[in-house]
Amino acid sequence: MNAPMPPSKPATLHDVARVAGVSLITASRALGNPGVVSASTIERVRLAVEATGYIPNLLAGGLKSRRSRMVAGIVPALAVAQFLPSVQTLTDVLAAEGYQLLLGQTGYDAAREEAVLNTMLSRRPDGIVFTGLVHGAAVRARLRRTGVPVVETWDMTADPVDMLVGFSQAQVGQAVGAFFRARGWQRVGIATGGDPRALQRKDGFEAAFGRRVPTAQVPAPSSLERGRSALAELLECEPALQAVACSSDQLAQGVLVEAQARGLHVPRQLAVCGFGNADFAAHLVPALTTVLIDGPAIGRQAARLVLARCRGEPVEQRIVDVGFRIVERVSTA
């Protein structure tokens, strides 16, 4: 009735059941499936939990029930600001449903992608959310074979591993290209990072112009500093540059700063467009035109899809296009 547990051995459900005077499984149900247990029993178990300081062991439960209640979240690198809102929302929505996120970083490296995935799989996650598409064919095949629910995000393809929440990178590039052309800018340039998604946008942009466009490709991570050097590079091969499309708002900000440092007026002498609608974009001077992606929506939808699969609910729409929107501000006015 008392003996609040010697601190040596943490209490198990067995202890709780003993203290509550019920069987093990009844204690289990009182905690995990209260609907089928009488109110008075539930109360006694609750008291026993408090008395013993019991903390459930989800590892053990998961072994039998084959549900770990963990979701693996795989990102190129945590520090890529772009993805944070979606990962944050994903984590929050999952947590609200009792699922935890297991974090993996690939460093944009295919070999590490495979290694990370294998480690993750050995923890038997109930689902996996990738930031970006899964690259390796072998990895894709393996994922399909294991049958874990998989959500790829931040991109678009007709043939995802399983489920997909994203948007077409090529369409973004084309839209920005069309936007530039509509304003009559022909001496245009691209400042871009080297990751696959950014390069798809570059291709889309060039498609809109029907030709190659001067490009400064900067090494990761995409930053203000890189934006400055990118503009310097672009101006070297195209001194009469009229407009620059950037693969991130950080890069675009660097372009703004470098333009200012060179006495180039934005937008009068140089128009600039970013990507991502970072929190600062609207508040720079000049305010930055950019492409808005609804990161939280991506996280939320990814969570929804993964959770639906985990619960065995049917998923009506495996592929969700969250779209995008060009937000026009002063930098392209």
Q: Report which residue type is found at 311.
A: R
Strand 215-217 and strand 271-273: the pairing is: unpaired
Q: Can you read off the two tokens belonging to residue 314?
A: 């049917």
Q: Which residue in 132, 170, 172, 175 sits closest to 150, CA to CA?
A: 132
Q: Can you read off the two tokens belonging to residue 52?
A: 């013993």
Position among 46, 103, 171, 209 found at the interface with a copy of itself (CB under 8 A): 103
Burial class of 285 by CB neighbour count within 10 A (0 to 12, 13 to 18, 19+): exposed
Of 43 and 109, the one with the shorter C-beta distance to a copy of itself is: 109
Question: Binding to a copy of itself (CB under 8 A): which residues in 31-90?
Answer: 53, 55-60, 62-63, 68, 70, 73, 77-79, 81, 84-85, 87-88
Of 41 and 100, the one with the shorter C-beta distance to a copy of itself is: 100
| Minimum distance, C-beta of residue 103 to DNA, in the bound complex (Å) | 22
Contacts of 5 (CB under 8 A, 6+ apart): 11, 15, 52, 53
Residue 60 in the binding site for DNA (CB under 7 A): yes
Q: Which residue in 241, 252, 259 sits closest to 275, CA to CA?
A: 252
Residue 220 in the binding site for a copy of itself (CB under 8 A): no
Secondary element (H or E) of residue 85: helix 84-96
Q: Under a CB-based contact definition with an 8 Å cutoff, are residues 274 and 248 in contact? A: yes
Question: Binding to DNA (CB under 7 A): which residues in 160-219?
Answer: none
| Minimum distance, C-beta of residue 15 to DNA, in the bound complex (Å) | 8
Contacts of 189 (CB under 8 A, 6+ apart): 213, 214, 215, 216, 234, 238, 241, 243, 244, 245
Site string for DNA, 2-41 (x = CB under 7 A): -------xx-xxx-------xxxxx-xx-xx---xxx-xx
Position among 5, 18, 56, 262 found at the interface with DNA (CB under 7 A): 56
Pairwise CA distance, residues 294 & 91, whole Å: 16
According to DSSP, residue 246 is labeled E
Q: Decide which of a copy of itself, DNA, none touches 242; Cβ closer than 5 to 8 Å per partner kind.
A: none
| Minimum distance, C-beta of residue 17 to DNA, in the bound complex (Å) | 8
Site string for a copy of itself, 160-199 (x = CB under 8 A): ----------------------------------------
Residue 104 in the binding site for a copy of itself (CB under 8 A): yes
Sign of CA dihedral 217, 218, 222, 228: negative
Pairwise CA distance, residues 161 & 134, whole Å: 8
According to DSSP, residue 123 is labeled T
Q: Decide which of DNA, a copy of itself, none touches 29; Cβ closer than 5 to 8 Å per partner kind.
A: DNA
| Minimum distance, C-beta of residue 49 to a copy of itself, in the bound complex (Å) | 11
Q: Can you read off the two tokens belonging to residue 213?
A: 């466009």
Q: Can you read off the two tokens belonging to residue 27?
A: 């204690």
Pairwise CA distance, residues 302 & 320, whole Å: 9
Position among 4, 43, 47, 63 found at the interface with DNA (CB under 7 A): 63
Of 11 and 191, the one with the shorter C-beta distance to DNA is: 11
Q: Which residue in 270, 83, 273, 136 sits closest to 192, CA to CA?
A: 273
Residue 12 in the binding site for a copy of itself (CB under 8 A): no
| Minimum distance, C-beta of residue 95 to a copy of itself, in the bound complex (Å) | 7
State the residues that interact with a copy of itself by CB under 8 A: 7, 10, 53, 55-60, 62-63, 68, 70, 73, 77-79, 81, 84-85, 87-88, 91-92, 95, 98, 100-105, 116, 118-124, 145-147, 221, 223-225, 228, 250, 253-254, 257, 260-261, 279-280, 282-285
State the residues that interact with DNA by CB under 7 A: 9-10, 12-14, 22-26, 28-29, 31-32, 36-38, 40-41, 54, 56-57, 60-61, 63-65
